[in-house]
Amino acid sequence: EVQLVQSGAEVKKPGESLQISCQASGYIFTHHYIAWVRQRPGKGLEWMGVFYPGDSDTRYNPSFQGQVTISADKSTSTAYLQWRSLKASDTAVYYCARFHLPYAFDVWGQGTMVTVSS
Amino acid sequence: EIVLTQSPGTLSLSPGERATLSCRASQSVTNNYLAWYQQKPGQAPRLLVYGVSNRATGIPGKFSGSGSGTDFTLTINRLDPEDFAVYYCHQYGTSPQTFGQGTRVEIK
C-alpha cells in the first residue's frame, strides 16, 4: 500500500526553527515528486513547492521562496519541510502529497498541524 | 500565476440531488492538467478526478469531470450523506500550481 506518514503536531514560538517530515512507503521514492501544501485554519489549499528525490530538482511557489526549504533523504524515503524562523502566520496544517503526471496529487499524508504562538 | 475561481462558494442541496460545481481558470490550463479533490473536516484532501475527466482509483462513477481550456465542471450525481464536503479544483500544468478557493456542498 502506498502511504505517506507525516510527523506529529508541533507548537513553537515565533523566531524558532522547525523541520517536519513525510515518510513514504509502498513505492519507489526516487521516482515521484513530493509536494507540500499549506492549509491555514478555515482556509483553502496553497501549493508551496515540489521536490524530486531522484535528482533533487526543487520548484517553489514564489510566495514561499526563501521562507521554507524542501528537501529529502533518499536513504530513508523521507521528505522534509523546514523553517529557519517561524512566524505566527505560519500556523497551519501542512500536507505532503505524491505528485506525478498525469495523476496530480494521488496520495496524501495525514497532515501536520504547526502552531506558532508566543 | 493561473487563478482558479470556483462557484458557487456554497451549494445547499438535499441527499439524492445532483451537484454541479464550476471552476474557471484565468488562462488556459496546460495539457488539461486539472484535478478535483474532496476534503472532509479534519481529513486530508482526496483525489477524485485528474486530467479533467479521469476518475482516480476507487472513485465511484457518480463523480464526473468535464471541460476544457478555462472552464471545468465537477458533477456529483445522487448525493449521499458522505458526499457533503468541500471540493477544490487544482491546475498542475503551469508552475506555480494553484487551487481554487473551494466549494462547500452542504445539506439543505
pLDDT of residue A12: 98
Averaged pLDDT for residues A110-118: 98
Whether chain B has a CB inside 8 Å of the CB on A51: the answer is no
pLDDT digits (tens, 9 = 90+) for A45-90: 999 999 999 999 999 999 999 999 999 999 999 999 999 999 999 9
Give the Å distances, CA to CA, from A65 to A59, A61, A82, B87. Answer: 9, 6, 12, 27
Mean pLDDT of chain B: 97
d(CA A28, CA A25): 8
Residues constituting chain A? 118
Measured between beta carbons, the chain A residues lying within 8 angstroms of B92 are 99, 101, 104-105
pLDDT of residue A109: 98
Q: Which amino acid is at B52?
A: V
Averaged pLDDT for residues A89-93: 98
Measured between beta carbons, the chain B residues lying within 8 angstroms of A63 are 96
Averaged pLDDT for residues A103-115: 97
pLDDT of residue A88: 97
> By the 8 A CB rule, do A44 and A51 touch?
no
Q: Which residues pair with A114 in a beta bridge?
A: A10, A92
Ordered per-residue pLDDT tens for chain B, 108 residues: 999 999 999 999 999 999 999 999 999 999 999 999 999 999 999 999 999 999 999 999 999 999 999 999 999 999 999 999 999 999 999 999 999 999 999 999
Averaged pLDDT for residues A21-30: 97
Mark which residues 48-77 of B lie under 8 Å from A by CB. Answer: 50-51, 54, 56-57
Give the Å distances, CA to CA, from A33 to A28, A57, A59. Answer: 11, 9, 10
